[in-house]
Amino acid sequence: MRALTAISALIALAVAVPAHADFQLGSRFQDTDGDLVADIPSDASEQIDPDTLIFAYTPVEDPAVYREVWSEFLDHLAETTGKEVQFFPVQSNAAQIEAMRAGRLHVAGFNTGSNPIAVACAGFRPFAMMAGEDGSFGYEMEIITYPGSGIDEVADIKGKTLTHTSQTSNSGFKAPTALMKAEFGMISGEDYDTQFSGKHDNSILGVANKDYEVATVANSVKKRMVERGVVSDDQFEILYTSQTFPTTGYGVVYNLTPELQEKIRDAFFSFDWAGTGLEEEFGKNGEEKFIEITFKDDWDVIRKIDQANGVTYDCQ
């Protein structure tokens, strides 16, 4: 197991200008204050104040599991805002982004890699992230295989098929693609084949069941699955562990009224985790509260990885 250093070197070479220099919002959004997220429309007629708020959590695992996990928080959100709140079980990152873009999703947690696309193309305004009591946060990307696979180190992936989760995932695709090229000199599609499982839990189960030889995943998802008894640590060999990345970012769609956006923020930061589904599930990763974040600062490394990979955001 090795610690990721090459991605930092790669993005330093690839980005000779500030990380936000090439980041552009979709044409329907404005950013007059330079914080890299869409402004709330100044014209009140362009703001919305829905009777029911729709909430979705990033689709990294079985949505049915997380409906119950989020139930106490959504009750608190309803009480704080005076709105009805519904949980929307999205099946893919693309579907979640499109739902917000189309006006069918108001409050959401987007995974690390999807955040820039959601911000640029759907008007997502992230402001919170889960953290430990001491304010520490984040997760690591792991490249995993199963014992006896014949893959003993990352170099052995050459000529094999590396399973990713989705093209919008940081740990499931973007970061390891940059890593494989920068540190190991292997180019996706040339030195090794790729396939996509759709979600982190699919990749983790696929390796555990020996359906996938090797995969890239978020270790926070794997840890929660181990804690629930879905898989066990002895079903995996860890070939590589990355630097720490920011985890799921929580926020709102840009055109909610300022008053409603402020109430939603208050719901996140006033929620008491003690004895709730959030504490039971995410406490497995040491997360105990929401902390305030900014897209401009906390997603700087993710935008650099996107630039190193040549990622652009098509918001047409």
**Distance of alpha carbon 20 from the chain centroid:** 19
Contact 36, 119 (CB under 8 A): yes
Q: How far apart are CA 226 and CA 300, in angstroms?
A: 31
Q: Give the integer Cα–Cα distance in Å for 113 and 292.
A: 19
**Which pair of structure tokens corresponds to residue 172?**
């499931």
State the Cα–Cα distance between residues 115 and 168, nearest whole angstrom: 9
Q: Which CATH superfamily is domain 18-136+247-308 in?
A: Periplasmic binding protein-like II (3.40.190.10)
Q: What is the DSSP string of 216-238?
A: EEEHHHHHHHHHTTSS-GGG-EE
The domain limits of the chain are 18-136+247-308, 139-245
18-136+247-308 and 139-245 in the same fold: yes
CATH topology of domain 139-245: D-Maltodextrin-Binding Protein; domain 2 (3.40.190)
Res 268 pLDDT > 80: yes
| Kind plus residue range of the DSSP H or E element containing 200 | helix 200-208
pLDDT in tens, 185-239: 999 999 999 999 999 999 999 999 999 999 999 998 999 999 999 999 999 999 9
pLDDT band at 1; cut points 50, 70, 90:
very low
The percent of residues above 70 in pLDDT, for the chain, comes to: 92
Sorted by sequence, the CB contacts under 8 Å of residue 179 that are 6+ apart come out as 4, 6, 7, 141, 240, 242
- Over the chain, what is the mean pLDDT? 90
- CB count within 10 Å of CB 303 equals 24
- The CA-to-CA distance between both ends of the chain, in Å, stands at 41
Average pLDDT rounded to a whole number, residues 103-121: 95
What is the token pair recorded at 308?
């190193």
Check whether 140 has a pLDDT greater than 80. yes
- Beta-carbon contacts of residue 280 (< 8 Å; ≥ 6 apart): 69
pTM of the predicted structure, to 2 decimals: 0.79
